[in-house]
């Protein structure tokens, strides 16, 4: 059954909305890129600190994000996987942008927290 043929209730039942959260440099954007790759939304996972335009991440689309290697605003990406539609929200990790993360968490079904094993859980 195609997306156009689904009722609103069926479409809602298939939808999963989740956020990826963590402190800076723990790997949120890297995980986002891998999930997009596995879900078929992209054909080549980008790198946060890529040297060429072709290898840049899809979720860090703002110029400042690409130059500094940080997420400034929440990026929202949608892809289909195994009969479900996933709305993936890659949140900023830096404390200066934490309000965006708090807003995002109020709108999602669940969250994945990425913890850097070397740094552990940080204060914020």
Looking at the structure of the chain, the number of domains it has is 1
Residue 4 covered by a domain = no
pLDDT tens-place string over residues 10-46: 888 999 999 988 887 777 878 888 888 887 776 555 5
Residue 1 covered by a domain = no
For residues 103 and 109, give the distance between their C-alpha atoms in angstroms, rounded to a whole number: 13
Residue 70 covered by a domain = yes
Q: What CATH number did the domain enclosing 18 receive? A: 3.40.50.300
Instruction: Tell me which of 96 and 49 has the higher pLDDT.
Output: 96
Closest CA to 60 of 95, 20, 110, 99: 20
Closest CA to 34 of 14, 20, 22: 20
The predicted structure's pLDDT at residue 78? 87
pLDDT tens-place string over residues 58-115: 565 567 666 656 666 778 888 888 889 999 988 876 666 677 788 888 889 999 988 8
The predicted structure's pLDDT at residue 70? 64
The predicted structure's pLDDT at residue 49? 45
Q: Tokens representing 112?
A: 């994945």
Residue 3 covered by a domain = no
Q: Tokens representing 119?
A: 């740094």
Contact, 14 vs 107, CB < 8 A? no
Residue 41 covered by a domain = yes
The predicted structure's pLDDT at residue 57? 56
Q: Which domain holds residue 97?
A: 14-113
């Amino acid at each position: 059954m195609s997306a156009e043929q689904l009722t609103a209730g069926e479409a809602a039942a298939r939808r999963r909305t989740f956020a990826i959260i963590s402190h800076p440099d723990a790997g949120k954007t890297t995980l986002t890129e891998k999930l997009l790759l596995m879900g078929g939304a992209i054909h080549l996972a980008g790198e946060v600190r890529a040297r060429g335009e072709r290898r840049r991440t899809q979720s860090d689309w703002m110029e400042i994000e690409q130059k500094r290697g940080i997420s400034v605003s929440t990026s929202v990406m949608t892809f289909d996987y195994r009969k479900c539609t996933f709305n993936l929200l890659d949140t900023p990790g830096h404390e200066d942008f934490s309000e965006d993360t708090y807003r995002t968490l109020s709108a999602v079904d669940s969250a994945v927290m990425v913890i850097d094993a070397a740094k552990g859980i940080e204060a914020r």
